[in-house]
Structure 1
């Protein structure tokens, strides 16, 4: 059985609209070990699951989420944009990775609060911008953190000391054997994103990565091998 985790990027977006309940359910059914999602904060402070700053690309409304209440988001999308609390209830069978790509601390604190309210701390990890992750660490000393790192040089010692990440997450094209080995020498696991080519998936497996994120979780599951649930 493989110990490499299959991570579903925003759910199963080739079968259901990304970052929706249907997409996450499809990813779990396809054999994901972990689902990745994005969090935005509404005007009234509710963390909702959406990658973009506006509703335009996915829902046809050029309205910034930060200027809308959670109820307005629900009405404009016919309930399509779920709250983080709603998604955590659906993803209970697997691990959830919450991506916080912005430097703003408010979404990070709201996400941690929602996770705590759901009693989901042991099945949730966080990745994203170091500033947002610093807010996660300040809010939850026990949180599992994956530092998103966008260069081949190692993270600064101060960053590692402050965040205490369990993971380094890299765009897959940056990775090679030496970088993976250096991370493992520091007792850090390596996650590669976002990989849709079976050939690239196999190359990453040969490097020794610990997790692969893909939009095509069914294909990823096939390449990795039998289900390895955490």
Structure 2
């Protein structure tokens, strides 16, 4: 059995500040298969890397990403790094051959167009878009996006996601009841899992070894985790592989 893809959730966020150059470098050194990065668009139409809509949690400021300029953001730091690093810094930090998964937090049509334009400048990179609505999938496919799309969709929108041109389905760990994963896998649909959150009682991205193994047996082919090293060790040892 092949080892599932290990996706470093917001980078190696167990050891480093999420969505920071240190977290990206840590994920590279940990040999994560993908680095997951959250992206938003500033008021002047620039792409930056940040999960939250504002900087309150990271930097103790009320600044909303969509309401400030990229220049204003550039001077705001959190734990020694830009609170919302520019997309250019991500591409400078991460080697061209390292796959990146983007969790797109701003899916306004105009924001999607800005994102696609930015990605068109790095056409050789291995990029996957993570989108939350089937309408967004249709928008980017119509605009010419041919690379993979991960569905961060609600359960009732899963069929629409694939009909719109989606490729891989993300399911929350807390939503992996009997048959939930295998039903899609048996239909030829790859399933990735975001560990933790909800009824698991763990932070989003944190995992328990037994639960990872259960989901692998049910057919999950990728895991979004905060600790890519620990997840790889658990899976490799159990599947009798080597990291």
What is the 5 A alignment of 1:25-174?
25-77=25-77, 79-91=82-94, 92-121=96-125, 123-130=126-133, 131-151=135-155, 155-156=158-159, 158-162=160-164, 164-174=165-175
Change (3 A) 1:3 1:80: same
Aligned to 2:235: 224
* Aligned-CA RMSD value: 2.1
Q: Which structure would you say has the larger RCO, counting Cα contacts within 8 Å and 6 or more residues apart?
A: 1
Change (3 A) 1:221 1:159: closer
What is the 5 A alignment of 1:161-200?
161-162=163-164, 164-176=165-177, 178-195=179-196, 196=206, 197-200=208-211
Decide whether the 8 Å contact of 1:42 with 1:67 is kept in 2: yes
Change (3 A) 1:143 1:218: same
Structure 1 residue 102: deviation in Å? Answer: 4.3
Q: TM-score, normalised by structure 1?
A: 0.87
Decide whether the 8 Å contact of 2:40 with 2:105 is kept in 1: no
Unaligned runs of 5+ in 2: 197-205, 237-241
- Describe the SS at the equivalent of 2:169: strand
Which moves more between the two structures, 27-36 or 172-181? 172-181
Large movers: runs of 4+ above 4 Å: none
Encode CA deviations 1:103-148: one digit per residue, 9 max, x unaligned.
4223322222222212345x11111211333332222341211112
- Describe the SS at the equivalent of 1:17: coil
Instruction: Say whether residues 1:5 and 2:1 are aligned partners.
Output: no
Q: TM-score, normalised by structure 2?
A: 0.83
More strand by share: 1
* Matched length: 223
Decide whether the 8 Å contact of 1:177 with 1:208 is kept in 2: no
Structure 1 residue 97: deviation in Å? Answer: 0.6
Distance 2:32 2:227 in 1: 10
Instruction: Say whether residues 1:213 and 2:214 are aligned partners.
Output: no
Unaligned runs of 5+ in 1: none
Distance 1:145 1:33 in 2: 16
